[in-house]
């Protein structure tokens, strides 16, 4: 009898390739997600369907369930902060107040790509138990972090500001509002500086009000433009 020299204490089992969400390249090539050359996280809504477990197995069944709606605007609203620069002197605070807009690029990018993959059912027929996380949605978000995030760069951020007169309602001083409706050419604001974090997970936009802060507050909105590397 021919000996195999395989130690009997080891067993070999087939496993799902989706247990590893990192795309591995080899000499003969590898699979890779086809992605857009550029896109903007602006004001669009993305609608997709999945079952109650988060899986996408049968569109004819899932389309009869309540749809899931992703909103660009909501995504950005939930993942940024707008705060006064605490280091500015009082006279500046009353006049051309300085603001710091901090944007969580990591979360915004991940949520946008996740909704896009769901819309096109990129991971259709993958069940929760076929992933190392026992959750296909967590697996998809990790796939984005491992394979997609580093393939894009930000080309620009479009900031929009519209001032509101406070002379009849001073209690609203420094209380600014997120407002997608103001995205018009005349409200586009370009006088700002940007500071990107070393890990590129966030960016700070620093700007001053054009109109006195003791007389005006702001509606504001921003878009993020991406381009494939």
Q: Which of 24-28, 91-95, 114-118 has the highest mean pLDDT?
A: 114-118
Q: pLDDT-derived band of residue 143, with 50, 70 and 90 as boundaries?
A: very high
Max Cα-Cα span within the chain: 98
The predicted pLDDT at position 35 comes to 76
Phi, psi of 182, deg, nearest 5? -80, 5
* pLDDT tens digit sequence for 214-228: 899 999 999 999 999
Q: Say how many residues make up the chain.
A: 229
**Which residue did the predictor score with more confidence, 28 or 87?**
87
122: left (phi over 0), alpha (psi -120 to 50) or beta: alpha
Residue 92 has pLDDT above 80, yes or no: yes
């Amino acid at each position: 009898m021919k000996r195999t020299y395989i130690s009997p204490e080891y067993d070999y089992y087939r496993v799902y390739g989706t247990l590893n969400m990192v795309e591995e390249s080899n000499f003969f090539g590898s699979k890779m997600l086809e992605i857009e050359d550029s896109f903007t996280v602006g004001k669009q809504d993305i609608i997709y369907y999945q079952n109650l477990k988060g899986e996408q197995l049968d569109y004819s069944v899932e389309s009869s369930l309540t749809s899931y709606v992703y909103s660009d605007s909501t995504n950005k609203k939930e993942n940024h902060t707008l705060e006064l620069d605490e280091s500015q002197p009082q006279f500046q605070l009353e006049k051309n107040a300085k603001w710091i807009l901090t944007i969580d690029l990591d979360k915004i990018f991940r949520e946008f790509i996740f909704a896009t993959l769901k819309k096109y059912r990129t991971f259709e027929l993958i069940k929760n138990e076929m992933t190392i996380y026992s959750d296909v949605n967590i697996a998809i978000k990790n796939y984005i972090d491992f394979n997609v995030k580093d393939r894009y760069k930000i080309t620009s951020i479009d900031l929009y500001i519209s001032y509101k007169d406070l002379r009849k309602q001073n209690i609203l001083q420094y209380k600014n509002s997120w407002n997608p409706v103001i995205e018009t050419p005349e409200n586009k604001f370009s006088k700002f500086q940007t500071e990107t974090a070393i890990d590129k997970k966030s960016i700070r936009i620093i700007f001053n009000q054009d109109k006195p802060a003791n007389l005006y507050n702001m509606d504001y909105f921003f878009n993020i433009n991406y381009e494939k590397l």
